[in-house]
Amino acid sequence: MLSEFELISRYFTPPSRHTVLAGGDDAALVAVTAGMELVVSTDMLVAGRHFLENADPYGVGYKCLAVNLSDIGAMGARPRWVTLSIALPHADESWIEPFSRGFLDLAREHDVDLIGGDTTRGPLTVCVQILGEVPAGEALRRDGAIPGDEVWVSGTLGDAAIALAHLRGELKLQTGESDYMLGRLDRPSARVALGQALRSMANSAIDISDGLVADIGHIAERSQVHIVLNWDAIPLSNTGQRLRNQPLIRDCALTGGDDYELGFTAARERHDALLALSSALGILLTPIGRVEAGGGVTVLDALAKPIVLKRSGFDHFR
């Protein structure tokens, strides 16, 4: 059985690339680039709540970092450093090794240094803190939406929630569909490059983690505006399109969560430039609504009638 310090040394002490001191002392030392502001975000993922108890450990490690990278992307920032704290029921190397590979593979892809953290015995829980940099005064925020803006979203929505519904037996995916949808659940795409490109184009932004309506609602609340979304404009994957007429699919796309796409608003004059950006980055960008004076979020059906939703998104305490 590994000791705590053997576990850290073997699996969680990768070489650092842009850190003054990454490990070996009581704290890490980092140097923030001149002219930059520090962007900080933290997420905690709990087995049985954020991922299934028997989930692939590589995917768990990957997702634990991806959801934090998504927050950095939503701010238009560049990720730089990350800390990882993990509670483990047992020091099981058959789980820890693929978990660390998933986490560190994605860290290398985004040039992020793992600079510290903590380990303890307990129910499987992962807590990640990520730090990034953004030019001073240029961070994307939730409070910048302006009446007249278009509302956009990246990628397709509802895939992760559809995958979870499949695992729960609430719907049946066809052969060949499940692998793609489960990949969207376990290994979400962090839209970091998109977020940085949007700094000069978007007025507000957020990552879609708790459900489209709930998260766009945060922009509406912080910007003190009314946001209208069109259900028929919501981008769905091929599987989502096939099942589109099922009420469950609408709930997955509008309120399901775990998408980790970016929702943002931009002036109508940016429409063509955003389509060009979509082509340049190879990321689907879709206009799905508009910003008006007022407050709250309304979703309209094909007849422009409001859709009544049972909930707006995921809430840990409801």
pLDDT in tens, 272-292: 999 999 999 999 999 999 999
CA distance 1 to 4: 10
The per-residue pLDDT for 212 is: 97
- Check if the beta carbon of residue 231 is closer than 8 Å to that of residue 307: yes
**Which residues, at least 6 apart from 34, have a Cβ–Cβ distance to it below 8 Å?**
none
Which numeric CATH code is attached to 4-135?
3.30.1330.10
pLDDT band at 73 (very low <50, low <70, confident <90, very high): very high
- Check if the beta carbon of residue 192 is closer than 8 Å to that of residue 72: yes
pLDDT band at 315 (very low <50, low <70, confident <90, very high): very low
Q: Does the pTM of the predicted model rise above 0.85?
A: yes
CA distance 158 to 247: 12
Q: Measuring CA to CA, which residue among 165, 169, 179, 145 is closest to residue 56?
A: 179
Residue with tokens 């962090």: 190
CATH 3.90.650.10 segments of the chain: 150-300
CATH 3.30.1330.10 segments of the chain: 4-135
Q: Examine the pLDDT at 314 and tell me if it is beyond 70.
A: no
pLDDT in tens, 117-148: 888 899 999 999 999 999 999 999 999 999 99
Which numeric CATH code is attached to 150-300?
3.90.650.10
